[in-house]
Amino acid sequence: MKKAYVILIGIFLLTALGIFGLPLFKSQQFHGSVLQEPKLAAEIVLRSAAGPVRLSDYRGRIALLYFGYTSCPDICPASLANLKLALGNLSPEESAQVQVIFVSVDPGRDTPEKLGQYIRLFDDGFIGATGTRDEIDLITSAFNVYYKINPPESNNNDYTVDHSGFITVIDRDGYVIMSWPHGTPPADMSADLRYLLKNGMPISAQILAGPTYTPVVCAVTLAPAHVQGGEWLYQHHCAQCHGADLAGNSAWQTELVDGSHLPPPLNGDGKAWQYSEQDLIRIIKEGRNLEKPIHMPAFKNTLADWEISFVLTYLKSNWDINQRNYQHGFMTLTPQATPTLSATPSPTVTGTLLP
C-alpha cells in the first residue's frame, strides 16, 4: 500500500517535471561569469570630455564598464569594436538602454579630451572617462580590475600598461551581475543583453543559489527587480488573506476548532522567516503547512516556480537583516536565555553569524 503510494507520487513528479520542467530548466545560459550574489556597484566619479561621469547617473540602463588606455595596441580596440558590434545587433530601442563606459587607467597620457576623440572612433554614444591616479586606484580595486604601468622601453618614453580585459555588466538597478571575459564574441554579448533588458537577472543565479553559499559572512542580497515583481504577485494572489501590508489577521494566533489558524503575518512579525526555503515553497505550492492542512489555496497550478520565488523575495524584503540571514542559513538562532512571557512568540535572533 505504502509502496504503491510512493510509486504514484514518483509518477506524478516525473509527469510534472516532463510537463512543467522544460520551461523551468530552460534558463538563460549566460556567456560570462555570473555573480551568485549581485553586488551594488561602487560609485564612480570621473571626468570625460563632456564633463563629470557618475556611474549612478546610468541607473535605469545597463552599464558596461571596460578598463584600458588609448595607446593600447590591440586588446582595447578589439574589445571596444566588439562592444560596438554587440550593441549594433540590438534594436535602437534596446541599445539606447545600454551605456558603454571606457575607463582609462593611464591618466598620464589620456586626458579627458584625448579619450573623447578616441572613443568617438568606435561609437558616439560610448563614454571615455578617467581621473587622478588615486581615483583610478580606488575604482580599479572596487571592480577587481588589475593594472600595471610598465617601465618605458630603453630608447623612447613609450610604455605599455598591463590590465584586466574583462567587461563588467551592471544592471539597471546598479548591481554588478556578471563579467564577460576578454574575447567574448559580440553575438554572445548581444544575446545576454537582450535577455537582461527583457527579463532582468533570472532568479536561478541569485536566490536559488541556495545553500551553496560561500563560507564568507555576508548578508542575503535581494534583487530590487525581483522584490518589485514579487510585490505585484503578492498583491494579486496573497494580499486578500495576508493583508496588503503583510500583517495577516490580527487574531492569527487564536486556534480555530479544526486546529488551524487565520492567515498569519508574512512580515517579520510572523514566523514565516523561520521556515526553510524548501518548506516555504512547499507551503505555497501545496496550500498545506507541512503536515497540517490550512485554509489556503494551493498555488502549484496558479504560479510558476519563478513567480513563487519572486513572491518569496518580496516577503524577505519585509524581514530584517537577521531574519533574512537566519532563513538563508547564514546565521544560527540563539533563543533568549531567560524566556519572558512576551506577546511575540518568536525567539529573538541574537546574531551568531556563521563563519
Binding residues for ligand HEC, per CB under 6 A? 237-238, 240-242, 260-264, 266, 270-272, 280, 283-284, 289, 294-297, 299, 311
Nearer to ligand HEC, 77 or 297 (CB): 297
Please enumerate, as own/partner, the contacts of 285-292 that have beta carbons within 8 Å and a separation of 24 or more: 292/259, 292/260
Closest contact distance (angstroms) between CB of 320 and ligand HEC is 16
The answer to whether the beta carbons of residues 222 and 317 sit under 8 Å apart is yes
Closest contact distance (angstroms) between CB of 104 and ligand HEC is 49
**Residue 43 φ/ψ, nearest 5 degrees:** -75, 140
Closest contact distance (angstroms) between CB of 323 and ligand HEC is 12
Closest contact distance (angstroms) between CB of 234 and ligand HEC is 6
CA-CA distances (angstroms) from residue 41 to 104, 127, 178?
18, 18, 11
Which cell numbers in the block locate residue 175? 548591481
Residues 6+ apart with CB under 8 A from 131: 45, 46, 47, 107, 139
Instruction: Give the whole-angstrom CA distance, residue 309 versus residue 57.
Output: 30
Nearer to ligand HEC, 33 or 302 (CB): 302
Closest contact distance (angstroms) between CB of 269 and ligand HEC is 10
Closest contact distance (angstroms) between CB of 226 and ligand HEC is 14
Instruction: Give the whole-angstrom CA distance, residue 213 versus residue 220.
Output: 10
Nearer to ligand HEC, 11 or 256 (CB): 256
Looking at the DSSP bridge assignments, the partners of residue 40 are: 175
Nearer to ligand HEC, 143 or 310 (CB): 310
Beta strand pairing call for 127-129 and 288-289: unpaired
The answer to whether the beta carbons of residues 242 and 318 sit under 8 Å apart is no
Nearer to ligand HEC, 42 or 251 (CB): 251
Beta strand pairing call for 292-293 and 147-149: unpaired
Cβ burial of 23 (10 Å; 0-12, 13-18, 19+) is exposed
Closest contact distance (angstroms) between CB of 296 and ligand HEC is 3
Nearer to ligand HEC, 131 or 268 (CB): 268
Cβ burial of 127 (10 Å; 0-12, 13-18, 19+) is buried
Q: For residue 338, which amino acid is it?
A: T
Closest contact distance (angstroms) between CB of 331 and ligand HEC is 19
Nearer to ligand HEC, 125 or 297 (CB): 297
Closest contact distance (angstroms) between CB of 260 and ligand HEC is 3
Number of CB atoms found within 10 A of residue 326's CB: 20
Nearer to ligand HEC, 159 or 275 (CB): 275
Nearer to ligand HEC, 180 or 273 (CB): 273
